[in-house]
Amino acid sequence: MSDGSIHALPGTGEGVGYSHPLDPDRVDTRHGPILYLDDITVSFDGFKALNALSLTIERGELRCIIGPNGAGKTTMMDVITGKTRPDAGTAFFGQTFDLTRLPETEIARLGIGRKFQKPTVFESHTVFENLELAMKTDKRVRPTLFARLSSGQRELIARTLQTIRLAGSEHRLAGSLSHGQKQWLEIGMLLMQEPELILLDEPVAGMTDAETARTAELILELAGTHSVVVVEHDMDFVGKIARTVTVLHEGSVLAEGSMSAVQADERVIEVYLGR
């Protein structure tokens, strides 16, 4: 891999390969972060849900975002995914993709995947079929179940089943899974799109302690090969996965640093953690 010529990354087949480093659709992080938000403001009828918010995420980073209800966490994800357009500010995915201008579908296609709080798996399909349906396909061809899968596509599904702790359960109906397993399946469906940046909004809400612990392991595995932004209220869980923690309050960054640093921050204790 060091002769400078063009190689496919291992483990992927035609149609499901990671985008090529010279591909203009590939996020360019050679000279900077994967996500750059600067001075973002979003107003709803004069109320500033985001107020001059600035945030930078490096490639491969795992970032936890905490903060009280109404702090703007979900709105921030809406801006990153193109669902909400900011009134002011800059938002870039890598050096070249302006998130304030690109359509939502294009942002998803370029490699930003988002998991909402409520799982939206297809209950009457199997785990395997759910992953298959979520696969990145040539959009000119209507996705169909049971179309012949390439070996690369099968391998991607097999790898994803391992990652989401559902290997061996691929023929179960999604509707029969526990709440936690449905959440993992939804993360798996995100992974089938091969995103570079993954946004998870309250991924352990409603999970058992055992499921929460396994989700922490899962997220730690995703970091490094992906950039991951996790919004979560469960502070035990955040403590397990945290590297850098950002505290949002009233639409801006109140504090940022290690878990212990933000936990010791007087302003954070005041507005969020309580005394």
Residue type, 176: S
Cα–Cα distance between 274 and 271 in angstroms, integer? 7
Sign of the four-CA dihedral 30, 33, 39, 44? positive
46, 61, 129, 167, 194 from 227: Cα distances, Å:
33, 5, 26, 24, 12
Cβ proximity to Mg ion: between 73 and 115 the closer is 73
Q: How many CB atoms lie within 10 A of CB 85?
A: 12
71's contact among ligand ADP, Mg ion, none, with CB below 5 to 8 A by partner kind, is: ligand ADP
Find the shortest distance in angstroms from Cβ 48 to ligand ADP.
8
44 binds, among ligand ADP, Mg ion, none (CB under 5 to 8 A by kind): ligand ADP
The item of Mg ion, ligand ADP, none sharing an interface with residue 203, based on CB under 5 to 8 Å by kind, is none
- Which of ligand ADP, Mg ion, none lies near 72, with the C-beta cut-off 5 to 8 A by kind? ligand ADP
Q: Residue 13 or 70: which CB sits closer to Mg ion?
A: 70
Q: How far apart are CA 46 and CA 20, in angstroms?
A: 43
Binders in 51-110 for Mg ion, by CB under 5 A? 73-74
161-180: contacts with Mg ion (CB under 5 A): none
Buried b (16+ CB within 10 A) or exposed e, 119-146: bebeeebbbbbbbbbbbbbeeeeeeeee
For tokens 């996790």, the residue is: 230
Smaller CB distance to ligand ADP: residue 110 or 248?
248
Which spans of this chain sit near ligand ADP (rule: CB under 6 A)? 44, 49, 67, 69-75
Instruction: Rank residues 73 and 165 by Cβ distance to ligand ADP and give the closer one.
Output: 73
User: From Mg ion, ligand ADP, none, which one binds at residue 239 (CB under 5 to 8 Å depending on kind)?
Assistant: none
Indicate the residue among 26 and 233 with the shorter CB distance to ligand ADP.
233
Which amino acid, residue 219? Answer: I
Instruction: Tell me how far, at minimum, the Cβ of 267 lies from ligand ADP, in Å.
Output: 17
137 near Mg ion, rule: CB under 5 A: no
In sequence order, what DSSP letters do the residues of 9-27 get, joined into one string? PTT--TTTPPPPTT-TTS-
33 makes contact, choosing from Mg ion, ligand ADP, none, with CB < 5 to 8 Å by partner type, with none
Q: Closer to Mg ion at the Cβ: 73 or 182?
A: 73
- CB atoms under 10 Å from CB of 31, counted, come to 7
- The residues that touch Mg ion, with contacts defined as CB under 5 A, are 73-74
